[in-house]
Amino acid sequence: MADIADIRTEAARLCAIFEDAGAVPVDCPILQQAETLLDLYGEDIRARTYVTRDPSRGEMMLRPDFTVPVVERHMAEGADPARYTYAGEVFRRQEDHPDRASEYIQVGFEIFDRAAPATADAEVFALIAGALAPLGLKAVTGDVGLLIAMVSALDLSEDRRAALMRHIWRPARFTALVKRFAGLTPVPPTRAALLARADPMASLAPLIGLRGEDEIAARIAALRADAEEPPLHAEAVALISAVLSVSETCPNALEQLRDIAVDMPAILPALERFEARCEALAAKGVAVESLQFEASFGRSSMEYYDGFVFGFYAEARPDLPPVATGGRYDALTRRLGRGREIPAVGGVIRPDMVLLLEAGS
């Protein structure tokens, strides 16, 4: 482990790169309102963060990252457009990887800009790639926006579509839902029995709790509608699987996705954005022809991203966490903006990993 003073020096070096790109340095409190983060990420985040209780402030969380507080701050008082950089400790519980650090420094760069999202995506990626170039890392990119476009394109009821959208970030559950909607898994016997009853609400057990009779009835109606919905076509299931398994260099991925789009034209706008981003990346000097694109990248770990996503990895050290990660999070600004929104993209680097890899090489 590198000396903390060296890590801070490296963090300052990285921050300076972002400041040179016009970013304003910002900071934010270490203690964050837990409720905001829990509402965004759900209960799962407790397994990855430190939550503590304050008698007057309620539940507080040691910041697991800077993105949420930086977005909150920007939505409250930020200039438009704006770009920020920060460096500071973040805190993560490591129940699954006790050998990994639970406190480390992140250096970040965030762009809030309504114009030319492809250019902003490319700028964040290229700056980080440039700062990490001597390490010879492998970069992987993806695009959650493509998956959202794919789900929007499916011939499904709004209820089923909403269920899939909700679980884009939970791959196993997503696949299970697709199979059920396609009629590939049997209806659970208890649900079949429920729907076979003429009046499932008759002779109900005593009503207890906050969830009311009307809510139960509404869900039964939804289940009935779902049972009557025709199954998702086998062809659609094959297309979903084809999109999710794209793992190629950017030009080849684009070509594969264009072939898929012949049968799924609704993803064409997402592909145009992908292509524009590739051009913007190339204009910034990124070797797009060898840059990896994985359609499923970022699905299990990067909940708030809804567009371009990327990560930088040390191929020779698969035991290490990624050296840098980032992506586009337009929807997060909408959720935290109370009616306002602004397209945003950013990324973070771990200076401790940079030093570790430099020392090893």
Partner 1 sequence: MSVKLGVPSKGRLMEKTFDWFAARGIALSRTGSDREYAGSVEGIGNVDLVLLSAGEIPRELAAGRIHLGVTGNDLIEEKLVQWDQQVKPLAGLGFGQATLIVAVPECWVDVDTLDDLDGAAAAFRARHGFRMRIATKYHRLVRDYLRRGGVADYQLVDSQGATEGTVKNLTAEAIADITSTGETLRANHLKILSDPPVLESQATLFLSRRSEKSDADRETLRLLAHMLGV
Binding residues for partner 1, per CB under 8 A?
Answer: 38-39, 42-44, 46-47, 95, 98, 162-163, 166-167, 170, 172-173, 176, 180, 188, 190-191, 194, 200-201, 204-211, 213, 215-216, 218-220, 222-223
**CA–CA gap between residue 270 and residue 146 (Å, rounded):** 5
**CA–CA gap between residue 74 and residue 287 (Å, rounded):** 33
Count Cβ atoms within 10 A of the Cβ of residue 172 and give its class: 0-12 exposed, 13-18 middle, 19 or more buried.
exposed
**CA–CA gap between residue 160 and residue 188 (Å, rounded):** 17
Please state the φ and ψ torsions of residue 51, each to the nearest 5 degrees. Answer: -115, 135
Please say which residue, 134 or 188, places its beta carbon nearer to partner 1. Answer: 188
Least distance to partner 1 from the beta carbon of 167, Å?
7
Structure tokens at 278: 């590739």
Least distance to partner 1 from the beta carbon of 350, Å?
23
Please say which residue, 56 or 190, places its beta carbon nearer to partner 1. Answer: 190
Please say which residue, 209 or 318, places its beta carbon nearer to partner 1. Answer: 209
Please say which residue, 232 or 314, places its beta carbon nearer to partner 1. Answer: 232
Count Cβ atoms within 10 A of the Cβ of residue 41 and give its class: 0-12 exposed, 13-18 middle, 19 or more buried.
middle
Least distance to partner 1 from the beta carbon of 288, Å?
35
The DSSP result for 305-327, as a single string, is --SEEEEEE-TT-TTSPPSEEEE
Least distance to partner 1 from the beta carbon of 158, Å?
13
Please say which residue, 156 or 342, places its beta carbon nearer to partner 1. Answer: 156
Please say which residue, 83 or 160, places its beta carbon nearer to partner 1. Answer: 160
Least distance to partner 1 from the beta carbon of 165, Å?
11
The answer to whether 258 and 181 are in contact (CB under 8 A) is no
Least distance to partner 1 from the beta carbon of 212, Å?
9
Structure tokens at 12: 């300052």
